[in-house]
Chain A
Amino acid sequence: MIGNLPFIVVGVLFLIGLMAVLMEKNLIKIAIGIGIIEAATNLFLIVLGYRTGGSIPVYTFAGEVKTMVLPTPQALTLTAIVIALATSAFMLSLIILLYRHYGTLNVDEIRRLRG
Chain B
Amino acid sequence: MNWQIHLPALILAVPLLGAFAVPLFNLGGKTLRHVCFVLISLATFVFAFLLWKTVLVSGTQVYVMGGETSALTLPSGMSFPIRIILQVDAFSAFMALLGSIASLAGAFFSVSFMERSSGIVRFTSLYLILTTGMLGMMITGDLFNFFVFLEIASIASFGLVAFWRDRPEAIEAGFKYMLVSQLAAMMVLIAVGFLYGRYSALNMAAVASVIHLGLAEKIALVFLLAALAMKCGTFPMHMWLPDAYAEAPAGVTCLLVAVSQASLYGLIRVCYSVYGLTMGSSLIPWVIIILGTASMFFGVSMAVIQHEIKRLIGYHSISQVGYMLLGLGVGLLALGDPQALADYGFTAMKGGVYHIFNYTMYKGLLFLAAGALYYVTGTKDLNEMGGLARRMPFTTIMFAIAAAAISGLPPFNGFVSKLLIYHSSFAVHPFFAVAALVTSVLTLASFVKIFQTAFLGPEKKKLEEVREVPSSMLIGMGVLTVTILVLTLFPTWTLSNLVEPAAKALVDQAGYIAAVMGGVF
Interface, chain A (partner B; CB < 8 A): 14, 18, 21, 27, 30, 34, 37-38, 40-41, 44-45, 48, 70, 72-73, 76, 79-80, 83, 86-87, 90-91, 94-95, 97-98, 101-102, 110, 112-113, 115
Contacts and interface: CB of A to CB of B under 8 A. Distances in A.
Contacts of B183: 18, 21, 34, 37
Contact of A112 (B147, B158, B169): B169
Interface residues of B, number: 37
A37 to B, nearest CB: 5
18 contacts: A18-B183, A27-B175, A38-B182, A48-B197, A70-B200, A72-B196, A72-B202, A76-B192, A76-B196, A83-B151, A83-B155, A87-B178, A90-B155, A94-B162, A97-B165, A98-B168, A113-B176, A113-B246
Interface of B: 144, 147-148, 151, 154-155, 158-159, 162, 165, 168-169, 171-176, 178-179, 182-183, 185-186, 189-190, 192-193, 196-197, 200, 202, 243, 246-247, 305-306
A106 to B, nearest CB: 13
A112 B168 contact: yes
- The secondary-structure label for the interface of chain B is helix
B178 A44 contact: no
Contacts of B154: 87
Given A72-B196, A83-B185, A87-B158, 5 more contacts: A45-B193, A87-B178, A91-B175, A98-B175, A113-B247
B195 to A, nearest CB: 10
Contacts of B196: 48, 72-73, 76
Nearest to B192: A76
B171 A34 contact: no
B148 A113 contact: no
A101 B168 CA distance: 6
Given A48-B193, A73-B196, A76-B144, A98 B151 contact: no
A35 B199 CA distance: 28
Contact of B179 (A14, A30, A44, A115): A30
A21 B187 CA distance: 14
B171 A94 contact: yes
B182 A87 contact: yes
A101 B151 CA distance: 27
B197 A98 contact: no
A41 B190 contact: yes
A102 B169 CA distance: 10
Nearest to B165: A97
